[in-house]
Amino acid sequence: MFKIDLHVHTVLGGDADIDPTTVVYQARKQGLDAICITEHHDYKLSHPFEAIARKEQFPIFRGLEYRAAEGHLLIYGVHAGKGDFLPGLPMQTILDWVNNRGGVAIPAHPYQGGLNRSKLGDGIFRLKGLVALETINGSLNEEENLRARAAAEKMGLSGTGGSDAHGIHVLGSAYTCFPAPITCEADLVAALRKGDYFPRRHPGPHS
Q: What is the pTM of this model?
A: 0.95
206 in any annotated domain: no
Tens digits of residue pLDDT in 121-164:
999 999 999 999 999 999 999 999 999 999 999 999 999 999 99
83 in any annotated domain: yes
Q: What domain count does the chain have?
A: 1
Tens digits of residue pLDDT in 83-103:
898 889 999 999 999 999 999
Q: Which residues contact 193 (CB under 8 A, 6 or more apart)?
A: 104, 131
130 in any annotated domain: yes
For residue 184, the enclosing domain spans 2-201
What percentage of the chain reaches a pLDDT higher than 90?
Answer: 90
207 in any annotated domain: no
CATH code for the domain in which residue 153 is found:
3.20.20.140
pLDDT number for residue 116: 64
148 in any annotated domain: yes
63 in any annotated domain: yes
DSSP the chain: -EEEEEEE--GGGTS----GGGHHHHHHHTT-SEEEE--BS-GGGGTHHHHHHHHHT--EEEEEEEE-SSSEEEEES----TTT--TT--HHHHHHHHHHTT-EEEEESTT--GGG--S-GGGGGG--S--EEEEEETTS-HHHHHHHHHHHHHHT-EEEEE--BSSGGGTTSEEEEESS---SHHHHHHHHHHT--EEEE-SS---
Alpha-carbon torsion 146, 152, 156, 158, what sign?
negative
Tens digits of residue pLDDT in 27-53:
999 999 999 999 999 999 999 999 999
